[in-house]
Amino acid sequence: MDTRIISGSEIAKAVRADVRNEVKTYVQAGRRAPKLAVILVGNDPASEVYVRNKSKACEKVGILHDTINMSADSTEEEVIKVIEGLNADPQVDGILLQLPLPAHLDEKKITQLVLANKDVDGFHIENAGMLSTGRWEAFFPCTPWGVIEIMKREGLPIRGKHCVIVGRSNLVGKPEALLMLAEDATVTVCHSRTPDLKAFTSQADILVVAVGRPGTVNGDMIKEGAVVIDVGINRTEEGLKGDVDFDSCLGKAAAITPVPGGVGPMTIAMLLKNTLKAYKLHEQID
C-alpha cells in the first residue's frame, strides 16, 4: 500500500490563509483587528522562541499581538495583575500565558484566571467542561483540534471509525478523545497503565499517539490501512523525532504525519483560529 505522507506544514499554511482572508474582510469593513496578548514570565530560551513564532504568525495574518515580558522573579500578585488588566481590556481577544511558569508560581491556579472567553489555549476548566458537554462555543486546546483539522482537510473520514488515542493528558489525549467522539468516532484511550498496547493500537482505524517517547508505536503495532497521527515531539541525538517509528509504518499505514512537519505546525495555526473565534465572539460576528 502506498502510504500518504500528510504535510501538516501545507495544511497549516491553508488554515493561516483562511484566517488572514477573514481578518482582512473584517478590517476592510471598518472593524478593529483581532488581538492576542502573550505573557512571558522569565527567560526560558525555548519559551522565547515559541513566543516569537506566535508573534510572527499573528503578524502574517493581520492579528495584532502584544508580548508582556515579566521577570523570572515576578510575584504571583504581579502576574495576576497583568492577567486582570488584559481580561478587562476590550481590545484584547486572546490571552496566552506561556508555560512553563517559573517554579514558584502556581501554574494550575494562574492559568484559570484568564477569562474563559479569552482563553485561546483552551486550558480553562470552563472550556474543558464545555468541550465535554458538547458546547461548541468553547475554545478547544490547539494541538488536538489541529489533528481534527488535519483529518478534515485531508478528506479522511472520522465518523464510525475506531480511533485509538495513546496518551491521556489534559493538553492532548483527553481533549482529543472528546473531539473525536464529537466527530462520531468510537474512541479508545490508552495510557502508561494499559497492558498490551499493541492489542489496542492494532485495532485502530485512526491512531493518535501523544506520549513523549520515541518509538512507542511501530509498524508491527498498526492495522493495514490505518491513519497514523504522531503528536510526539522528542529531541534526540538524531534530531526531532515523533512517538511513532515512521519508517516501519510506510507501506502499511494509509496515511501518516511526519515529525517534524506534521502536527507541530498545526498548533500555532489553530491558535490563530482560536483568536479569530474569540474576536468574533467579542465583536458579535456570527
Using the rule CB under 6 A, give the single segment among 87-95, 180-188, 229-237, 271-279 that binds ligand NDP: 229-237
Beta pairing, strands 35-41 & 94-97: parallel
Instruction: Based on the shown chain and the rule CB under 6 A, indicate whether residue 15 belongs to the binding site for ligand NDP.
Output: no
Instruction: Based on the shown chain and the rule CB under 6 A, indicate whether residue 270 belongs to the binding site for ligand NDP.
Output: no
Nearest CA among 47, 1, 14, 10 for reference residue 257: 10
98 is catalytic: yes
CA distance 234 to 246: 13
**Closest CB to ligand NDP belongs to which residue?**
169
Instruction: Based on the shown chain and the rule CB under 6 A, indicate whether residue 269 belongs to the binding site for ligand NDP.
Output: no
Which of 197, 249, 269, 270 binds ligand NDP (CB under 6 A)? It is: 197
CA 67 to chain centre: 20
Three-state secondary structure call for residue 152: helix
- Report phi then psi at 133, rounded to 5: -110, 15
Question: At 155, which amino acid appears?
Answer: G
Catalytic residue among 93, 118, 119, 121: 121
Q: Which is nearer to ligand NDP, 117 or 143 (CB)?
A: 143
Helix axes 125-132, 173-182, angle to 10 degrees: 40
Beta carbon of residue 273, minimum distance to ligand NDP (angstroms, whole number): 14
Instruction: Based on the shown chain and the rule CB under 6 A, indicate whether residue 191 belongs to the binding site for ligand NDP.
Output: yes
Instruction: Based on the shown chain and the rule CB under 6 A, indicate whether residue 198 belongs to the binding site for ligand NDP.
Output: no
Using the rule CB under 6 A, give the single segment among 75-83, 113-121, 198-206, 259-267 that binds ligand NDP: 259-267
Q: Maximum CA pair distance of the chain?
A: 58
CA distance 119 to 127: 8
Beta carbon of residue 256, minimum distance to ligand NDP (angstroms, whole number): 14
CA distance 76 to 110: 8
241 is catalytic: no
Residues 28-67, mask of contacts with ligand NDP (x by CB under 6 A): ----------------------------------------
Beta carbon of residue 189, minimum distance to ligand NDP (angstroms, whole number): 9
Nearest CA among 231, 195, 228 for reference residue 211: 231
Q: Which is nearer to ligand NDP, 171 or 254 (CB)?
A: 171
Nearest CA among 106, 89, 50 for reference residue 271: 50
Beta pairing, strands 239-241 & 234-236: antiparallel
54 is catalytic: yes
Binding footprint of ligand NDP on the chain (CB under 6 A): 143, 166-169, 171-173, 190-194, 197, 210-213, 216, 231-234, 263-264, 267
Query: Annotated active-site positions, please?
Result: 54, 98, 121
